Structure 1
Amino acid sequence: MNQAKIPKQRAIIDRRALAGEISSLVDEYGEKARGAIVALLRDALEAGRAELAKRLAEKPASGHECSGGQAFLVDQLVRLLYDHVTQHVFPSANRSKNERIAVMAVGGYGRAEMAPHSDVDIAFLTPARRTPWCEQVIEAMLYFLWDMGLQVGHSSRTLDEMVRMAKEDLTIRTALLEGRYLWGDRELYDESARRFFTEVVHGTERQYISEKLAERDARHKRMGDSRYVVEPNVKDGKGGLRDLHTLYWIGKYIHKVRSAADLIEVGLLTKQEYKSFRRAEAFLLAVRCHLHILTGRAEDRLTFDLQREIATRMNFADRTGKSSVERFMQFYFIQAKRVGSLTGIFLAHIDDQFAKKRSRKGFLAAFTAKARTHKGYQVFGGKIGVPGDDWFRDDPVRLIEIFQIAEEEGIEIHPDTMRQIDRDAVHIKGPIRKDPRANALFLQLLAGRNDPETVLRWMNEAGVFGKFVPDFGRVNSQMQFDMYHHYTVDEHTIRAIGLLSRIEKGELTDDHPRGARLIHRVASRRAIYVAVLLHDIAKGRGGDHSVLGEQVAYELCPRFGLTKGETAMVAWLVRAHLLMSATAFKRDLADPKTIEDFVGQVQSQERLRNLMLLTAVDIRAVGPGTWNSWKGQLLGELYDVSQERLRLGHVRHGRSERIAATKALVREQLGDRAHLIDEYGDIYTDSYWLAETDDVIARNIVQYSVAQSLGEQLSIHCEYEEERGATLVSVIAADHPGLFYRIAGGIHLAGANIIDARIHTMRNGWAVDNFLIQDPVGAPFYEASQLERIKTAISDALANRVELAPKLAKRPLPISRSKAFNIQPRVIFDNSASNRFTVIEVNARDRPALLNRLARALFESQLIVHSAHITAYGERAADTFYVTDLMGEKISATERLENIEAELLDAASDSRQAELESA
């Protein structure tokens, strides 16, 4: 920002008044004035920051004014220090030509854009060689700045050193590129600027761009490689301030522009694009300033706990279906998206400019390749363009067509054409949305066989997607304020479409073997693509997005050209898109009633195939690490059993036949030890044979036989399960009250998370409990030391060698940011989900050993837990228990259910956690 435009500058800092005070202190105290001067300037710094913070509070979006004001404040302090040091501390009446210093602001400070706690980047320039006087002045100034509490990044170089080091180091070159004269010898500064551009920049433009873009790509990868991550880095994240800076750096390096406004003059940005540049920059700068003021430090991560506070500071209010923080973050992502769009256009133009400068040599020097024509468009150099400025205005359907062609042909869209698209997207109105040709083209693009994900993302960033499908426009840049979803709704949806395309092309067969088969067996591939597009379309509307999305599907599908049958399929899929994951992850798949209820809702194999595909891509598109082999196995198990039930009209085998079939498989697994089934098979209950897989049963039987032969009262076996992506922990012990919650506590103390638990009591009174566990980031335990730690922790917990409650309470969650979310615990009872058990689902904030506390509450309520299913959605846990009373009956009495609910709510509450932590 031009500092002359900063209003009421003396209210921020009055340099003349301070200079007078410094002179008075020197006159009064002489050499002992230093401490008083540091205190004076420190107070001036704090007063200036306070004034700027007050202004930001009054005008919370004034990013340029605040960041420019911070730079102005530091400028005056540096100038005061230079004058004081050169006049009072090390005065020199007759300086030689080498006793000169130019003080230069570099980096962000050089751009006059500083957040309240940004580093102060200064370069001290000296002539051919440094003199003792120069070194004394520089050192004195730095100590003053440090004593004032400023973080200073500094360099001290001669002009020759500056040139040499700038040639060698990209970071130094970029910092100097933004150099601004601050104080001292102006002639020396001017000479440095001349030498920098003639000796460093000239002839290295292409190399600089290449290195700068490589640096940007590495930064993006480090930050998550998406501008739609829900905890973005305002400075370094994709779509953040650094991306805008990169445009300015490249423009300045190539065209020697002095400000971002000059990018218009050299044809790299239009006036409208520059306005977008400034709007995005102002907003991002304001957010960064708020971050620094709130935290009192140089914090650039927009974390969940800070998002809510900044939304309030920037005057965002709640609206129906969207909280203030969601509205604030949606606006943030709109700006980040605009930065991405500007970056793409800008860099493509730079590429074109260099391409025009390239001269051909040799035999083909006189040959000029001609553009080919495709459906009226011009295709040249792998890019598609249009023949005239009115192309889209004359027929707005072409705004859809060009993206469909780009996807089908595997080509990019020329930057000039993208500019036209961005400008002319306003012509997509009601008649175009209803146009059969436009909708047919859109459907071809959506279900394209090349790369629909990339082209739909271009379409979205150009503003065409949201204009053509306004319901999609409503979720554009919309975040979901939780720790489960990593991306905005539109980015999640586009990623899911890309995953479906990759599954269809056979690129993800290892992770999705069923999906790779099923995608080629669905009756309508375009219906499944539309279902993926619409599954989250109604988020943020203040109701159940599945139900509201079903209504949207019934409106949009006929418009897209889908048949009645396809429309009905899409609408059902949108309505039921959470059904399969909820059943697989929260219900006992060994319970026949689970399958019966699920199949009752699915009703057809065609629906089941489509739902399996939609569920897989929906989960995987949530973010890195959300899909794992354990989830794949659970969904696959549910699919296989349900498919058999739908195909035959019944489960192929009755209860006794299924038990006999499992025993036969276990016998085969045991091989030479098959006799163990004859010895111990009858002590296992029917429910055990139905619930566990044959490989787990085989291991349990061997483990039990070994424990019996050794006379062990407790046997713990841990084994890495590659197929399940988890570690199986089997505990065999004489059953006794509280066994389950103590085992769970021991596992948590060892640093593991339980993702599934099956609890069995054998006919002879022994317990066989099988737990699947992972580490806090969803990976299995497999090292011997890890497995031994788990065994020891369980053993100590069962033997009462540790006090579980206080130790568990002090174990921090791996993601402590969960405290930023207000989650009210909820308990749901379901006596219809199982014929034998009462199903209890507890939703609460995830925290250390939640399962242990819930299991203890169930134990103290005199309930027997038969299986537990543990699911985490970021900060929220959903734990499901299949229970009976001590007599093996369901719980139905209202008063009893109310008491159990009260105990579970207390165990899951934040206040209870606080009590335990303080114990």
Structure 2
Amino acid sequence: MTLPKVPNQRKIVDRRALAAAIDAVVAEKGAAKGRPAVVALLRAALADGRAELQGRLLKRPGAGHEHAHGQAFLIDQLIRVIHDHVTLHVYPAANRSSGERIALVAVGGYGRGEMAPYSDVDLAFITPGKPTAWCEQVIEAILYYLWDLNLTVGHSSRSLDEMVRMAKEDLTIRTALLEARFLWGDQALNAEAGRRYRAEVVPGSESTFVQEKLEERNARHRRMGDSRYVVEPNVKDGKGGLRDLQTLYWIGKYLYRVQSAAELVEKGLFTHSEYRSFRRAEGFLLAVRAHLHTLAKRGEDRLSFDLQREVAARMNYADRPGKSAVERFMQMYFLQAKHVGHLTGVFLAHLEEETATRGVVAGFFDVVRKGRARKIDGFVVHGGQIAAPADDWFQQDPVRLIAIFTLAEREGLDIHPGTMRMARRDAATITAEVRRDPRANALFLDVLAGRRDPEPVLRWMNEAGVFGRFVPDFGKVNAQMQWDMYHHYTVDEHTIRAIGLLSQIERQTLADDHPLASGIMPRLVHRRVLYVATLLHDIAKGRGGDHSVLGADVARRLCPRLGMSEEETDLVAWLVRYHLLMSATAFKRDLSDHKTIVDFVGEVQSLERLRLLTVLTIVDIRAVGPGVWNSWKRQLLADLYEAAQERLRLGHKTHGRAERVSAKKARVTDLLGDKGHLVADLDDRFDDTYWIAEPEDVIALNLPHYAAARDGELPLSIEAQFSPEFGATLVTVIGNDHPGLFFRIAGAIHLAGGNVIDARIHTNRVGKAVDNFLVQDPLGKPFSEASQLARLRKSIEDALADRIDMVPSLAKRPLKAMRAENFSVAARVTFDNGASNRFTVIEVNATDRPALLNRLTRAMFEQSLLINSAHIAQYGERAVDTFYVTDLLGTKIHSEERLGRIEAALLEAIAAGKPRVAEAAE
């Protein structure tokens, strides 16, 4: 293997000039005394070379291949100069024996000539036999020079026999040597190493190599999140990243002895078009990795939020209406990752076909061809796979591009990779005429709302490009990132996951996780409405404006085309328009406030709408990403559903509330077991508001705690316990209520290193405060160790006993920059006197920062407000905190002047939490 030609090489490094300068130093000072000067010359050459390559990258920010090869060329020349200096000046040997020979070989990514600015330098030193003393001295000296240059060197020193033996035993070594590239030293020895590798290591091991490489890839994917659409992808090791492309090349090289990816075309594994796609994806990913290394000043391969914006700017992406520069850049990234996925499928399909006839890796793919193939709807089916019977099958009738996916979902079959390749090639035959075809639309609805498992089939359809062609609005959100800390996946991936969850709920496979939704599904009248609404709920993201409103417009256009009735179309449009209504009400409003339920029901209007919206809300939240759904949210949504259902069924009758409370008391009694009597014992302490607001499992913890505090005549009792269901720590404070209690508790939690993610505060009938807080650490993890829980309790106890001077203590605590600071959340305070009959509702939107809740509640205390309840919601970097308040006389705040003062105080409190510039730079 040779390194591709690098333009203007001497501007990067002039090896002859550098060698001459070193010779001059040695001539003047000698090799030993001249060593510092030699190192200085090498460092200067490395710095100058990197600067030259950096300048080229800024001029051509997408030239990934050129930059990677340039980096490898720079290191090549430095190693050659170092080798010659060591063998000529440091350890000269006039009459070397046959054993005193060394071949310097670049291996791994360095051998392939693909280096980022801070990539490891992987070297192999090969000797004929056991290294002589001279060989060991030379190798050590070369390594010390490289370490002096602050290069990260991965190295091995092996004899020819050791190389062969270890390559046979170890996949990593075998793979590294597969990319071996001669650098300097003994050419004959290098040629012998290559000959022995090809003759003694490769033959007979092809099947094992392919199997191990694909298993290695799958394990890496699982480790990195098993999706190419995670919002902070790893450019090198993530699914759809550089390592996936390299795996294809490794397999091709091992089986077919190719020396470059271009030769895969000659072997029939890629078409010319697919190879161009390979090169584009590889070049883009190499460029992104180069910018990442340059910005981080280290070997950084994770495209994290704090670097995405900067990489986008360096690669000349600009804002467009409805889509920021970083969103456009990340969409391009995910499109390239999608191409990598397609290329993997194509490659393995051809490999399978080759193995069926040539037996190169026979047995690995386990292609069972027993019995005769059968036909279904014209498609050939065998071995659990569907195949097109002819190369022009889809071109003859493009509706078949939809039919094959419908068949796959209905029959539970896979689609042959070769046929998938044909579908991707022919996706462009889906024109406006095909999109209007009633057959195609009926087939599409069949797969979308399939009874078996539509998720994987829709993902195949998306990967083939058929989905976006048939539903162009979906094509617009293909690979579109939602640039925030809340959403874990691209819009298309989130949508397909939501449809998959909906199918699982309908098939009753998630009944334990989602009992409410699982109970609703069999009672729905408009089942397919729900599937179409799930498809369309985020369809208008990235267009500018409210995506719910714009999405409803899309629904009104698309649903009639899909063959849906006017009633179904109206329902889908309503669900898309209001798909955020239920979560906003449940998480940001007081469900014990009668007006909350009245307003929600006024918008929903029917039981069918309520059922549809409930299930859509659940799958939408659950599909956001891991850790977003928890039992707290499940309980709040269930409470809202039950309250709204009672209201819709009973109208203005009031006994529905009492029945709900009674039913919850019965369930809590069951949860308490032998302590179930506490429900009746404490009935005179807690009113209906408490019973409606709190989840059952929290009440089952609160009541024994309250009883123990009462029986012990404790003025203050604090409990902190890890709650796996919530993914957080539940902190409960029971004590005498007094003004400022809330902000003191919130401040104490922050001083103990915690972050409040939700809060429910109550004052019972005898003036006791019963406040529940969900707490996590700054990394979003719960406190679970005994020492952490004790620290939380002690901090709250000290704060409420005035043993802590809260304001200066909080001021001393550093406000370090958090990941949330990478995002811009405009601080906003809104007041609503119509949301409750008794309270003014204050909603605060701000960047989520430590101690935000403490600052807000302290500002309210200083503005003489009484907080009746607080509802803390987090959406990644955005905090939405809602407070139900009155003045000291218990009345709403109507004065515009006073509302203005409150708003100013709250905005000042938000601004006070911003990290200082010096701290943000740390």
- Structure-2-length-normalised TM-score: 0.94
Contact kept? 1:121, 1:154, Cα under 8 Å: yes
* Alignment CA distance shift 1:670-1:115 (3 Å): closer
Q: What residue number does 2:12 align with?
A: 12
For 1:433, give the aligned amino acid. R
Distance 1:664 1:143 in 2: 75
Q: What residue number does 1:152 align with?
A: 153
Contact kept? 2:3, 2:112, Cα under 8 Å: no
Deviation at 1:658, TM superposition (A): 7.7
The answer as to 2:465 corresponding to 1:463 is: yes
Deviation at 1:676, TM superposition (A): 8.5
* Alignment CA distance shift 1:692-1:331 (3 Å): closer
Q: What residue number does 2:226 align with?
A: 225
* Alignment CA distance shift 1:701-1:41 (3 Å): closer
For 1:30, give the aligned amino acid. G
| Matches for 1:272-671 after TM superposition, within 5 Å | 272-358=273-359, 369-653=371-655
Deviation at 1:685, TM superposition (A): 6.2
User: Secondary structure of 1:887's partner?
Assistant: coil
Distance 1:188 1:170 in 2: 23
User: Secondary structure of 2:733's partner?
Assistant: strand
User: Secondary structure of 1:595's partner?
Assistant: helix
* Alignment CA distance shift 1:24-1:787 (3 Å): closer
* Alignment CA distance shift 1:896-1:349 (3 Å): same
Paired positions, count: 915
Contact kept? 2:815, 2:914, Cα under 8 Å: no
Decide which moves more: 24-33 or 186-195: 24-33
Contact kept? 1:90, 1:137, Cα under 8 Å: yes
Decide which moves more: 138-147 or 3-12: 3-12
CA RMSD of aligned residues (A): 2.9
* Alignment CA distance shift 1:814-1:565 (3 Å): farther
Q: What residue number does 1:825 align with?
A: 827
CA deviations on 1:690-715 (whole Å, 9 max, x unpaired) are 65578867876665565455443222
Deviation at 1:354, TM superposition (A): 2.2
Deviation at 1:815, TM superposition (A): 9.3
Q: What residue number does 1:116 align with?
A: 117
Listed as ranges, the gaps of 5+ residues in structure 1 are: none
CA deviations on 1:604-658 (whole Å, 9 max, x unpaired) are 1101111111111100111111111111111111111111111222355177888
* Alignment CA distance shift 1:118-1:783 (3 Å): closer
Select 1:769's aligned residue among 768, 771, 787: 771
Decide which moves more: 763-772 or 807-816: 807-816
Distance 1:815 1:223 in 2: 26
For 2:56, give the aligned amino acid. R
Deviation at 1:790, TM superposition (A): 2.8
Distance 1:705 1:695 in 2: 16
* Alignment CA distance shift 1:356-1:524 (3 Å): farther
The answer as to 2:165 corresponding to 1:164 is: yes
The answer as to 2:906 corresponding to 1:904 is: yes
* Alignment CA distance shift 1:474-1:699 (3 Å): closer
User: Secondary structure of 1:732's partner?
Assistant: strand
* Alignment CA distance shift 1:224-1:145 (3 Å): same
Contact kept? 2:591, 2:692, Cα under 8 Å: no
User: Secondary structure of 2:71's partner?
Assistant: helix
Q: What residue number does 2:28 align with?
A: 28
Distance 1:168 1:669 in 2: 57
Distance 1:233 1:135 in 2: 38
Distance 1:133 1:825 in 2: 69
Contact kept? 1:81, 1:141, Cα under 8 Å: yes
Contact kept? 1:838, 1:882, Cα under 8 Å: yes
For 1:820, give the aligned amino acid. N
Distance 2:681 2:717 in 1: 19
Distance 1:108 1:915 in 2: 39
User: Secondary structure of 1:909's partner?
Assistant: helix
Deviation at 1:462, TM superposition (A): 1.1
For 1:336, give the aligned amino acid. A
Distance 2:370 2:663 in 1: 74
* Alignment CA distance shift 1:708-1:526 (3 Å): closer
Contact kept? 1:591, 1:691, Cα under 8 Å: no
For 2:109, give the aligned amino acid. G
Q: What residue number does 1:79 align with?
A: 80
User: Secondary structure of 2:522's partner?
Assistant: coil
Q: What residue number does 2:240 align with?
A: 239
* Alignment CA distance shift 1:777-1:154 (3 Å): closer
User: Secondary structure of 2:873's partner?
Assistant: strand
* Alignment CA distance shift 1:459-1:887 (3 Å): same
CA deviations on 1:793-844 (whole Å, 9 max, x unpaired) are 2101112223444555677899921121122211111111111111111111
User: Secondary structure of 1:5's partner?
Assistant: coil
Q: What residue number does 1:195 align with?
A: 196
Deviation at 1:851, TM superposition (A): 1.0
Deviation at 1:7, TM superposition (A): 1.2
Q: What residue number does 1:263 align with?
A: 264
Deviation at 1:423, TM superposition (A): 1.4
* Alignment CA distance shift 1:332-1:698 (3 Å): closer
For 2:304, give the aligned amino acid. T
For 1:594, give the aligned amino acid. T
| Matches for 1:749-788 after TM superposition, within 5 Å | 749-762=751-764, 765-773=767-775, 785-788=787-790
User: Secondary structure of 2:861's partner?
Assistant: helix
CA deviations on 1:501-554 (whole Å, 9 max, x unpaired) are 111111111110111121222112211111110000000000000000000000
Distance 1:701 1:263 in 2: 69
Contact kept? 2:817, 2:919, Cα under 8 Å: no
Contact kept? 2:667, 2:696, Cα under 8 Å: yes
Distance 1:416 1:662 in 2: 56
For 1:907, give the aligned amino acid. A
Deviation at 1:765, TM superposition (A): 4.5
* Alignment CA distance shift 1:146-1:608 (3 Å): same
Decide which moves more: 849-858 or 43-52: 849-858
Q: What residue number does 2:213 align with?
A: 212
Distance 2:670 2:498 in 1: 41
* Alignment CA distance shift 1:682-1:449 (3 Å): closer
* Alignment CA distance shift 1:175-1:910 (3 Å): farther
Distance 2:368 2:470 in 1: 45
Contact kept? 2:706, 2:734, Cα under 8 Å: yes
Contact kept? 1:330, 1:478, Cα under 8 Å: yes
* Alignment CA distance shift 1:473-1:699 (3 Å): closer
Contact kept? 2:678, 2:703, Cα under 8 Å: yes
For 2:174, give the aligned amino acid. R
Contact kept? 1:629, 1:725, Cα under 8 Å: no
CA deviations on 1:222-270 (whole Å, 9 max, x unpaired) are 1111100111111111100000000000000111110000111111111
CA deviations on 1:327-383 (whole Å, 9 max, x unpaired) are 00000100000001101121232233223345999xxx9997432222222122222
